[in-house]
Chain A
Amino acid sequence: MTERDLLNRIKNNPDAFSELFKLYYKTIFGYILRRTGNFDDTADIASDTFFKAFRHINKFSYKGISVKVWLYRIATNEVNMYFRHKQKHSSVFERADFENKNLFTNFLYEDKKELEMELQKHDQFLQVLDGLKTLPIKYQEVISLRYFEGKDNKEIVEILNINEGTLKSLISRGLEKLREKCNQI
């Protein structure tokens, strides 16, 4: 099934959104985790990202970007809001109805343990991330997408909705600043 078919199915039957969720939740969760380095914030931001996507899925239309790029775009905005305001996100976990809240909390706790162990295995990455988080958001976005997510110029341009020249200069200046920060660490 193509993305377009899936979108049409979701428009007719919102329950089909769970298929989109299965396809991309892990990818987007990973992206947010690699930007924040914190499980709790990641879980909040990722759930908000998909809740927003669910709310606006009917407005989504193919204008040259895929659903995956669109989700990356929402997630990037959510992470940026988190960094700008450092505010507690109003979590979907508080708004949503879970059939078995205890089971959900247990699953979340197990995922947290697992991913915190995973984070600890990547010392060097965490050091770079600490440095990256001190840079302005415009550099964080491009460096994270290029070097942590392995996206090429075309994909980053689509996700951030900027032109290629701007992207190249952001990467170049961002790398310079990050190198200085990493030397200080």
Chain B
Amino acid sequence: MKNFEEKLNQITKPKVTYLKHQDMLANAITKAKDKSVISWWWLSIPLYLIAALLMKTIFMPKTTLSLNIHDFTSRETYSSVLFFIFLPIVFIVINFMSIRNIYFLSGSPKSISFLRTAWFNVLMIIFSILILIIYSL
């Protein structure tokens, strides 16, 4: 057995001295974190409309938010569907996918690093849901 052990120690083993692909792979892996950024500005359109309708509700007596939204919907059928249904749903889906990516990179949702990375996406989802709720009132 001793001889066999010695033989194993003595046989030459392949060595890795230089790898050309190393630096490019390192760059690609560290860049993977930047994959999930979404522009906040797209959501600002329905938010702006909601804010405008809210202002109208506050400053115009005898009107309600729901009434104002339905008034807007009857005048701007396609835009309201686009801004109040389509965009928020798309945002919810995209942000959930982004959070999945963040989970993939940062680990468990319980970890601080996850929350630090995902807070913006969570905020976007909450806003989108809020818009959907207000529209359906």
Contact = CB atoms under 8 A, between A and B. Distances in A.
Contact of A128 (B5, B8, B18): B8
B14 to A, nearest CB: 5
Given A26-B19, A58-B113, A122-B14, A17 B29 contact: yes
A55 B107 CA distance: 7
Interface in A101-139: 103-104, 107-108, 110-111, 114-115, 118-119, 121-122, 124-125, 128
Size bracket of the A interface = 35 or more
Interface string B23-35: 1111111111101
Nearest to A126: B14
A114 to B, nearest CB: 8
A185 interface: no
25 contacts: A14-B30, A17-B30, A18-B23, A22-B22, A22-B23, A26-B16, A29-B19, A33-B14, A47-B29, A50-B25, A51-B29, A54-B32, A55-B105, A56-B107, A58-B106, A58-B107, A97-B31, A100-B24, A111-B20, A118-B14, A118-B15, A119-B14, A122-B12, A175-B1, A175-B8
Contact of A104 (B11, B24, B107): B24
B21 interface: yes
Contact of A147 (B9, B25, B33, B106): B9
Contacts of B1: 175-176, 179
Given A50-B29, A54-B29, A55-B107, A104 B12 contact: no
B111 interface: yes
Interface residues of B, number: 36
Contacts of A115: 14, 16
B75 interface: no
Given A59-B113, A92-B25, 17 more contacts: A29-B19, A47-B25, A51-B29, A56-B107, A58-B113, A96-B28, A96-B31, A100-B24, A104-B28, A107-B21, A108-B21, A111-B21, A114-B18, A118-B16, A121-B12, A125-B11, A175-B5
> Is the contact region of chain B dominated by helix, strand, or loop, or is it mixed?
helix
A40 B94 CA distance: 34
A38 B15 CA distance: 13
A25 B32 contact: no
B31 A21 contact: no
B40 interface: no
B100 to A, nearest CB: 13
A83 interface: no
A55 B104 CA distance: 7
